[in-house]
Amino acid sequence: MDRKTINPLGKTFYFNLDEYSCCKLKAGICPLEVMTVEEIKKLPKKKNFFIEENSWEYCSELAKKIIELDDDENCDFTHSIWLYYNEKCNHYSLADGQHRTCIIAQLYQKGVRVKYNPHFSKQNEKCRKCLYIDDALKLKKQVNFLDKLFKTKKYKKYIRLFKLSQKTTLRTFI
């Protein structure tokens, strides 16, 4: 898998985050959506080494570090990001680096151009969210009144797929 320099703007990313790993999904707002670049740069240094992924501080602290260390040749925040382009749905999915990708894309939106050189590969597939939606729609056509009434395995599988398709997030950065 080769590394590639990518501009995250104008791309739709599939994020498999939830309220336990994303502040926006927990509280309804992302700190990076409301903070300016100057506010991010002026954040005080945290004494706490452990910050929960869904806290206000997690992404803002990581954004500050990415900005501060972007010029450092020995530091590359994107070295372990694994990005896949899903050709059948035109979405990008990640095996690792969801928070960093989201943060870097939001910094790009604010005019801050930092390095984004993930490991990159194309897949002749749909992203997981699109697959969940397709599977749920196919199964919905097969579920009848009795399946719903008796909550059969088929009906439960449909509900599980539907919930999975709603839980996952597609986000486009413009």
Question: Given this model, what pLDDT does residue 109 score?
Answer: 97
Q: Is 93 helix (H, G, I), strand (E, B) or coil?
A: strand
Digit-coded pLDDT (tens) for 6-46: 999 999 999 999 999 999 999 999 999 999 999 999 999 87
Average pLDDT along the chain, 174 residues, taken 10 residues at a time = 93 95 95 97 84 94 94 86 97 97 97 95 97 96 94 94 90 93
pTM of the predicted structure, to 2 decimals:
0.90
What order of strands is seen across the sheet that includes strand 2-3? 2-3, 119-123, 82-86, 91-96, 12-15, 169-172
Strands (E), the chain: 2-3, 12-15, 82-86, 91-96, 119-123, 169-172
Burial 56-87 (b: 16+ CB within 10 A, else e): bebbbbbbbebbeebeeeeeebbeebebbbbe
